[in-house]
Amino acid sequence: MGIKDKLKTGVQRNLNQKYIRRLLDIIAKKPVLFAYGSTFSSLSDKYLNIFTIKSLRNAYTDNNHPVGYGSLFLPYEMFHALGITPFLPEVMAGFTAGLGLATQTLKEASSNWYSQDLCTFHRSASGAVELDVFPKPDFVITTNLACDAAQKSFYIHSVKYNIEKNFYLIDVPYEYSKESILYLTGQIKNICMDISSKSGIKLATSKFKEVISLSNEFRKWAIKVNNLRKTLTNYPPYYNGLNFILPFHGLAGTREAVILYNQMYKELKKYLDKEEKEKSGKNKSLKRILWLHLKPYYKNEIFNILERENCRVVFEEINYIYWPELDPERPFESLAKKMLSHFLAGRIDNRINVILKAARDYKIDGAILFSHWGCRQSNGGARIIKDSLNKLNIPTLVLDGDCVDQNNSSQGQVKTRLQGFVEILNS
Amino acid sequence: MLHDSKSRDDLDILKNKINDISAFFEKTLFSTDKRPLVGWFCTYTPEELIVAGGFIPVRIFGRKKIIKSESYFPINFCPYIKSSWESLLSGADNLKAVIFTNSCDGMRRFFDTANKYLKDTPSYLLDVPHLRGVDSIDFFANNLNNMKRFIENLNGKKISNKEIKNAIILINKKRKLLKKYSQISTKLPELISISSYFKVMELSMISAPEIFTDDLERYIKFIREADTENMTNLQPNYENTPGIMIIGNFITEEKLWGMLSTMNLKLASDDLCISSRYFEKQIELGDDSDFLNLTAERYLNKPQCMRMADLGLKLKEIENNIIKNNIEGVIFISLKFCDTMLYSFPLLKQKLNDLGIPALYLEIEYNNFSEGQLKTRVQAFLEML
Ligand code: SF4
Ligand code: SF4
């Protein structure tokens, strides 16, 4: 049994904080972490996993820094500037799926009155909170971007830990406007000040500037990666752009994110150079796919099927750099603008624009919208997305499934639908 | 006295009369008011601005069976939205414009859909903050100003401060009367059926406010006079009945209210967006003439919908009502797939457990009511109490 499988079965058998803490302590030690990292076949995967382990270890075991639960689309630069260790329950819900724990966590959520119609990212995370598997937070910070779920489930977490006073919602306005920037800047600033005074950690301007600069640096490499991918067709084995959710959000503003995206760039560049040299990218019949929304995080066949059918996901909307460069002199305002620029904020047109731009930039032949059960914000726009891509003669598959709950997805049906879609692409 | 058969007969006659809503609200129902209609969905929409612009605000109830709508939205999507979309697509409501709010993810996508596929009917989305502090009120007031401009553009007419003030006075009066009516209904469960109560609520949201308030005023006067004749002491069926509170979202199922009306259920308090969350709290007109700010203040501080950030405050509101109205059981009814409602239940359930109040959890479809199983569950719940 390899180290990854050992980890998996270990956690499955001992689903409790003490065990997880011990495990993270062992694995985060340098030689072990190095050995663990070397089990990954690509450099980007290696760094992703090393940094994830480090970040989790900090959240579980570092008592010197407060822990902040954060929902996915927050500007994590504020966490790093404040010295708060971020912990992202939604991302962790993806891990519960990958580690085969979701059946337990979802069951726990149901017995705590979470309806089965709710998004499983939140249900599974809530189940884990109820089971006491996650580290205890000092602060809970959330936002209405991109959906209603986080602000509600995170509030429940704050009650569970008796820290309602340390619950913050960053309320992102609907339109991008002068007034919205002002309103949002004020909120972010007030929250930072409040957390700083409660935690006793001074919010140093120099630290904030440094974090903002690192975030810009990460952004620069991420854009370079995205640009490379416009022509790249051959990827390192097991590379999947949907795996980098944690660093893309939670590590924005850290050196780790810079290293990871820099390494990713170098690695992909090598592939591209090789491709150009050998003209191996000229796989004429390859179908280029744009992926919309997320993917299942449990073991599944989707990407293998696509690979076998000579289809490749060449871009994922979630990796689109939607925000302008941040201004280190105006950190709060920059973060407000970052949030307001998100394509899932406001009208669906913002998302459609990104999708259509990606369709052109990445010369896609088809799009797959993974219709994750219970995600109203995304699935509610499926018809408009489909119609908009249709106008460009790009077929779209709305693939029903569940990112976290294996039992709410039929592998057989997914396969049939994918094959049907490939036939359309090839016709 | 209670078994006096003459009194019982009189009571029955009176009861029939009071529950004949179409007779009391004839003018409302057959209104000749020809002002154009502007549709709205969510109780965070200030009708005041629609009235001030010279329109009749009409809440969209979406009574249409969902057919075409299925191809626009996923299966697991708010049935109220789907059925409202069906009715917008059919053009049945003859609306000059529609005002949406960003109340939930579903509504945001509904607005996008209307924007894309309903080109002839102008639509507007009012951004309602989830927070309630001073900054949020200012921000909301600015959004109200944008909404005002949208309404002005509909008929090319500027809305004056005076028109806003008059509209505030009118809608304040409507809210005040509705509250009074709600209090009377709670006191007289035998005389005013649950069906009648919600019918009046519905009329209040879809009718010309001037005519409706006149009708409601007369209706309340009639009930009051009956009350002074002491008829209302005769409520044998409800003497030892426990008070129930209904908590829910857009629950407008006539058949459900009809069913509950036959079940000896004493509705002692409600927290729904078609009743208390709609009529509670006035716009306080004082010396301040910044009417948009006053309006913003009222709407953000009215009894909260579950969509707002502070669920703790919502629970406190519910707890206060439970204590004030001697509630002994709570019926929680949600339309299916309404995330904000569904997420409120885990905490609400905890709170009710702490208070020792039993709760019944129901999820229903919209316009697709099947009485059988539901009746058995409610019956069992009432018996348990
Ligand atoms: S999948 Fe959809 S509903 Fe779930 S957390 Fe993400 S945006 Fe929200
Ligand atoms: S009932 Fe719920 S889901 Fe439907 S529109 Fe209202 S808040 Fe949204």
CA A127 to chain B, closest CA, distance in angstroms equals: 12
Q: Which residue has the tokens 């449990």?
A: A298
Cβ contacts (< 8 Å) between B307 and chain A: which residues? 148
Using the structure block, give the residue that is written with the tokens 């302008």: A324
How far is the C-alpha of B71 from the C-alpha of B67, rounded, in Å? 8
In which band, very low, low, confident or very high, does the pLDDT at B231 lie, cut at 50, 70 and 90? low
Q: Which residues contact B128 (CB under 8 A, 6 or more apart)?
A: B42, B44, B101, B102, B103, B140, B143, B299, B300
Say yes or no to pLDDT of B4 above 60.
no
| Cβ-based neighbour number of residue B31 at 10 Å | 17
Q: Between chains, do B336 and A169 touch, taking CB under 8 Å as contact? A: no
B221 in Cβ contact with B177 (< 8 Å): no
Is the distance from the beta carbon of residue A121 to the nearest atom of ligand 1 less than 6 Å? yes
Q: Which residues have C-beta atoms less than 6 Å from ligand 2? A: B 78, 80-81, 103-104, 106-107, 249-250, 335, 338, 340-341
- What type of residue sits at position A185? T
At B274, is the pLDDT very low, low, confident or very high (cuts 50, 70, 90)?
very high
Q: Give the A:B interface size as CB pairs under 8 Å.
A: 125
Contact A155 B309 (CB under 8 A): yes
B107 domain-assigned = yes
> Quick check: A385 and A185 in contact, CB under 8 A?
no
Give the pair of three-digit tokens for residue B14: 């009176």
> What's the domain range around B65?
34-160
Taking 50 as the threshold, does the pLDDT of residue B327 lie above it? yes
**pLDDT > 70: percent of chain B:** 95
Residue B314 to chain A, least CA–CA distance (Å): 12
Would the pLDDT of B44 be above 50?
A: yes
Per-residue pLDDT at B1: 40
Distance from residue B338's CA to the centre of ligand 2 (Å): 5
Listed in sequence order, the residues at least 6 apart from B109 whose beta carbon sits closer than 8 Å to its beta carbon are A348, A376, A377, A380, A381, B73
- Grouping H, G, I as helix, E, B as strand and the rest as coil, residue A366 is strand
Residue A64 identity: N
End-to-end Cα spacing for chain A: 44
Residue A18 sits in a domain of what CATH number?
Answer: 3.40.50.11890
Whether residue B228 is contained in a domain is answered as: no
| ipTM of this complex | 0.97
How many distinct structural domains can be found in chain A?
Answer: 1
The answer to whether residue A217 is domain-embedded is no
Closest Cα in chain B to A169 = B309
Average pLDDT, chain B: 93
Cβ–ligand 1 distance for A77 under 6 Å, the answer no
List Cα–Cα distances, B352 to A131, A404, B359, in angstroms: 22, 31, 7
Probe site for chain A from B336, B343, B361 (most A CB atoms < 10 A): B343
In-domain check, residue A293: no
* Strand segments (E) across A66-200: 67-70, 85-87, 139-143, 167-170
Beta bridge partners of A300: none
**Under 8 Å between Cβ of B54 and B38:** no
Ligand 1 atom with least separation from CA of A344: 7
Q: Which residue has the tokens 């620029």?
A: A341
Q: Which ligand has its closest atom nearest to the C-alpha of A147? A: 1
Using left for φ > 0, alpha for ψ between -120 and 50, and beta otherwise, residue B189 falls in alpha
User: What mean pLDDT do residues B97-105 have?
Assistant: 98
pLDDT of residue A87: 98
The 8-class DSSP code of residue A365 comes to: S
The domain of A87 spans: 3-201
Share of chain B above pLDDT 90, in %: 83
How many other CB atoms are found less than 10 A from the CB of residue B244? 25
Is residue B212 within 8 Å of residue B203, measured between CB atoms?
Answer: yes
Instruction: Tell me how far the alpha carbon of residue A421 is from its chain's centroid.
Output: 26
* Region of residue A350 (phi > 0: left; psi between -120 and 50: alpha; otherwise: beta): alpha
Could you say which ligand is closest to the alpha carbon of residue A71? 1
> Is the distance from the beta carbon of residue A146 to the nearest atom of ligand 1 less than 6 Å?
yes
Q: Which amino acid, residue A222?
A: A
Q: Would you tell me how many other CB atoms lie within 10 Å of the CB of residue B136?
A: 20
- Ligand 1: distance of its center to the CA of A372 in Å? 8
Given a contact cutoff of 8 angstroms between Cβ atoms, the answer to whether A345 and A339 are in contact is yes
Before A146, cis peptide (omega within 30)?
A: yes
Answer with the residue of higher pLDDT: B9 or B111: B111
d(CA A261, CA A115): 38
In this predicted structure, what is the pLDDT of residue B3?
47
Contact B343 A384 (CB under 8 A): no
Q: Which of B66, B77, B78 to mutate to test the pocket of ligand 2 (most atoms within 8 A of CB)?
A: B78
d(CA A194, CA A190): 6
Which amino acid is it at A109? A
- The Cα–Cα gap between B326 and B319 comes to 10
pLDDT at B179: 98
Q: Of B106, B340, B342, which is closest to A117 when you measure between CB atoms?
A: B342
pLDDT score of B367 = 78
Cα A139 from Cα A158, distance rounded (Å): 8
Annotate B88-103 with DSSP letters as a single string.
HHHTTT-EEEEEEE-S
Among all ligands shown, which has an atom nearest to the Cα of B85? 2
CA B155 from centre of chain: 28
**In a domain? residue A159:** yes
Residue A295 neighbours by CB under 8 Å, 6+ apart: A240, A242, A302, A303, A370, A403
Determine how β-strand A287-292 pairs with β-strand A311-316: parallel
- Tokens found for residue A241: 């752009």
In order along its 427 residues, chain A shows pLDDT tens digits of 677 788 889 999 999 999 999 999 999 998 888 888 888 888 999 999 999 999 999 999 988 899 999 999 999 999 999 999 999 999 999 999 999 999 999 999 999 999 999 999 999 999 999 999 999 999 999 999 999 999 999 999 999 999 999 999 999 999 999 999 999 999 999 999 999 999 999 999 999 999 999 999 999 999 999 999 999 988 998 899 999 999 999 999 999 999 999 999 999 999 999 988 887 656 778 999 999 999 999 999 999 999 999 999 999 999 999 999 999 999 999 999 999 999 999 999 999 999 999 999 999 999 999 999 999 999 999 999 999 999 999 999 999 999 999 999 899 999 999 999 999 999 9
Single-letter code of the amino acid located at B118 = L
Please name the residue whose Cα sits nearest to atom 3 of ligand 1: A375
CATH for B111: 3.40.50.11890
Please report whether residue B89 resides in a domain: yes
Element (H, E) at B70: none
Nearest Cα neighbor of B213 from B185, B176, B163, B252 is B176
Q: What is the pLDDT of residue B240?
A: 77
Is residue B44 in a domain? Answer: yes
Phi and psi torsions of A369, nearest 5°: -100, 110
pLDDT recorded at residue A63: 83
Q: Ligand 1, residue A374: give the atom nearest the CA.
A: 3
Residues near B220 by Cβ (< 8 Å), separated by ≥ 6? B177, B180, B181, B184
Q: Is the CB of A125 under 6 A from ligand 1?
A: no
B372: Cα separation from own chain's centroid = 26
Tell me the residue type at A384.
Answer: I
Q: Please report the pLDDT score of residue A372 as a whole number.
A: 98
Cα A350 from Cα A353, distance rounded (Å):
5
Buried b (16+ CB within 10 A) or exposed e, A138-170: bbbbbbbbbbbbbbbbbbbbbbbbebeebbbbb
Tell me the two tokens of residue B122.
């102008």
Does residue B299 fall inside a structural domain? no
pLDDT at A1: 67
Dihedral over Cα of A280, A285, A290, A294: its sign: negative
A53, part of any domain: yes
> Which residue on chain A is closest to B76 by alpha carbon?
A374
Contact partners, residue A153, CB within 8 Å, separation at least 6: A89, A122, A125, A126, B343
Residues forming a β-bridge with A315? A290
Query: Among partner residues A164, A171, A380, which is closest to B130 by beta-carbon distance?
Result: A171
- What are the residues facing A366 on neighbouring strands? A289
Q: What is the pLDDT at residue A280? A: 62
Of the listed ranges A196-200, B179-183, B226-230, the one predicted with least confidence: B226-230
The pTM score is 0.97
Q: Specify the pLDDT at position A39.
A: 87
Q: Is A372 in the pocket of ligand 1 (CB under 6 A)?
A: yes
CA nearest to A123 within chain B: B343
Looking at the structure of chain B, the number of domains it has is: 1
| Residue A272 lies inside a defined structural domain of this protein | no
3-state secondary structure B288-301: CCCHHHHHHHHHHH
Residue A103 covered by a domain: yes
Q: Which helix (H) or strand (E) holds A288?
A: strand A287-292
Minimum mean pLDDT among A277-291, B39-53, B134-148, B192-206: which range? A277-291
**Residue A312 vs residue B367, higher pLDDT:** A312
The C-alpha angle with vertex B204 and arms to B199 and B205, in degrees rounded to 5, equals 105
Residue B299 Cα, gap to closest chain A Cα (Å): 17
Q: How far is CA A399 from the centre of its chain?
A: 19
Query: Do the domain assignments include residue A174?
Result: yes
Domain membership flag for residue B293 = no
| Inter-residue contact B359 to B352 (CB < 8 Å) | yes
A149 touches ligand 1 (CB under 6 Å) = yes
Asked if residue B60 belongs to a domain, the reply is yes
Return the pLDDT at A276: 87
> Could you give the CA distance from residue A166 to residue A163 in angstroms, rounded to a whole number?
5
- DSSP reduced 3-state for B46: coil
The secondary structure element, H or E, covering residue B338 is none
Give, in degrees to the nearest 5, the angle at Cα A424 between A419 and A426.
95
